[in-house]
A and B are shown apart, each in its own frame.
Chain A
């Protein structure tokens, strides 16, 4: 079978606008930051999570809870897959591992960046980082896998 180039139909900006209008992404207040493709065609996406006192884990330290950061990392890694394939297709998170390198600085906006680094017919492999201003000093690393539920 000859491979036919498929035009990218997935629009991450429109998707994020829709996904953050209601539901859990709205609860935590995440918003679009950036997206793109690497020269090899693999996609990446960034969301911003603004600091909020009602999302902290401990009022004394003011450190952001990890739950909202995980939500952001789940979303950016998911979107990186659809950017890679160029189409939206249903998928389920198999697992997501997060390494907490250091606490987020209170008051700082957190940026989550996810990328899809390998894809098979059934599974997408993703990774990402979260930082609070300097991508060279990440607060967390993630690695995860997704399963295409329709394949």
Chain B
């Protein structure tokens, strides 16, 4: 299923790909447009990447036949390390896909997925 990126995601230059297991990956190439404090990616850009990969993963899991409208309830982002001026990867895991609510976790990393730069926990409403 093709991923349709939002205008925001295109403005940010997010790109989609697959890992070896076919899991959706989203990447954010570094540019000055992402910079927060000197030398580091802005936390808001990381949060935007995490939310975008979470929604894309959820949209794939729901499939094109499901007409549920996805609405954000809340997001908690934890920042573990400073993200430096390089490519950032992100992927999401759906922890529970209910009829009305989905719980999704997304992680972002640079060199090593075992050393995340940021993790987001999201609660999403599915309006049917």
Contact = CB atoms under 8 A, between A and B. Distances in A.
B82 A92 contact: yes
B79 A94 contact: yes
Interface in B70-87: 71-79, 82
Interface stretch (B15-23, B47-55, B88-96): B47-55
Interface residues of A, number: 34
A72 interface: yes
Contact of A65 (B48, B75, B76): B48
Given A27-B33, A94-B79, A100-B73, A68 B42 contact: no
Interface stretch (A2-10, A34-42, A56-64, A118-126): A56-64
B43 interface: yes
Contacts of A151: none
Interface residues of B, number: 33
A134 to B, nearest CB: 21
A71 B74 contact: no
Contacts of A22: 32, 35
Interface string A98-117: 11100000000000000000
Contact of B72 (A59, A66, A73, A94): A66
A16 interface: no
B44 A24 contact: yes
Contact of B75 (A27, A56, A66): A66
A24 B73 contact: no
Given A23-B42, A70-B47, A54 B79 contact: no
B72 A70 contact: no
Interface stretch (B6-14, B60-68, B99-107): B6-14
B7 A54 contact: yes
Contacts of B6: 56-59, 65
A90 B6 CA distance: 34
Contacts of B73: 99-100
Given A24-B42, A67-B47, A100-B73, A55 B79 contact: no
A59 B7 CA distance: 7
B74 A97 contact: yes
Contacts of A58: 6
Given A22-B32, A66-B72, 14 more contacts: A24-B41, A26-B33, A54-B10, A54-B11, A56-B8, A67-B47, A67-B48, A68-B8, A70-B44, A71-B45, A93-B79, A95-B77, A96-B43, A96-B77
